[in-house]
Structures are given as C-alpha cells and as structure tokens.
Amino acid sequence: LVARKNGPPPTGGTVMAAVQPVTVGDKVIDGIVLTLAPGRDVPGTVRIEGDSEPSLGSLMILANSLDGLNNGMGPQVRGVSGSQFTLKGVAPGRTTIAVNNQPPNYYVKSVQYEGQEVTPGGADLTTGGSLAIVLSDKGARLTGRVVDAAGKAATRANIALFSADNQPSRFY
C-alpha cells in the first residue's frame, strides 16, 4: 500500500510518501493509517577501478521508486565532483539505482547500499545508510558481426546479451 502527494510549504513541493506492506486474504482490513513523510537524503560515493581517473562530470545517478512514488522522475544527481554525491528526497520503499553516462570504456561494476547489492527488485534506501557505486574499465569486450544466410552483413538486426545464469539484468 503506497501513498504520495506533493508537500505544501515549507517543503517547497517535496514529494511526501508512505509505504505499508499489507497481506490481503479473506478478511476485511480496517484502520490502516499511512503517515506521509518527506523523502530522505541518501549520501553516496563513486569509486573508480581503472588505469586512469576519468571525469565524472557527465555521470547521472537516478533513484527510481518501484512502488510508483516518483512517477519516473525520482531524485537524481547530474555530474559528480570528486567522488561524493547526495540523492535528495528519496522516497521510502523499493528503489533501484540507474547510473548513466559513465566515462567512455567504463561500466557499472556494482551499486551497493550498506554493503548489499541493490538488485532489480530494489532496496529501501531510507534507513540511514549510504550508496557505494563502483565504475570499472576492466570489463570484457565483445566484437563481432551479424550476417545473413549468404554471409552478407545483416541490416536492422538486434543483438541481446544475457547472463549465463539467466538472472534479470541490473538497472544500471
């Protein structure tokens, strides 16, 4: 069960939200109270694994509520100066982290909250912990080509890459 609304002044339009797990069975559920509260600021760091110190000026970090509390416009950071950042006003409930515009030849190796990987199922980022994002330039490279039955370059072909254990992809 979720609730959200834009907060009145003095919150300056901050989204107010509440999340309450509810198990529905064959009995009437009565008297549920959801107490709206502003989101929490979540600090984080970006660590680089690689042979250089690339600029993080174009890096984008986005918190996306899986409970529908931010309508796709969650807290975000555009550009990281140094290695620290803060996502402001993260709503309670299940949240994923998207990391976009990483430096050329770098990939997102991990996103952790309080030492636990933030999975595609999300994590509650409002418990007072911090995020740790690792970017690496040590990823594998995949090269090749798509051909038709005659061995000629195929046009308008799509390529998909899946993990060997068939786990859903991370939301990076």
pLDDT tens, residue order, the chain (172 aa): 667 666 554 444 566 778 777 888 888 888 888 888 788 899 999 999 988 889 999 999 999 988 877 666 778 899 998 899 999 988 888 999 999 999 988 999 999 999 999 988 899 998 999 999 999 998 877 888 999 999 999 988 888 777 676 665 554 4
Q: By C-alpha distance, which of 118, 131, 126 is closest to 44?
A: 131
Say what the pLDDT of residue 11 is: 45
Pairing relation of β-strands 40-49 and 131-136? Answer: parallel
Say what the pLDDT of residue 132 is: 97
Question: Whole-model pTM above 0.85?
Answer: no
Say what the pLDDT of residue 28 is: 84
Radius of gyration of the chain (CA): 20
Under 8 Å CB-to-CB from 85, ≥6 apart: which residues? 43, 44, 45, 46, 61, 77
Say what the pLDDT of residue 27 is: 85
Map tokens 């993080």 to a residue.
Answer: 56
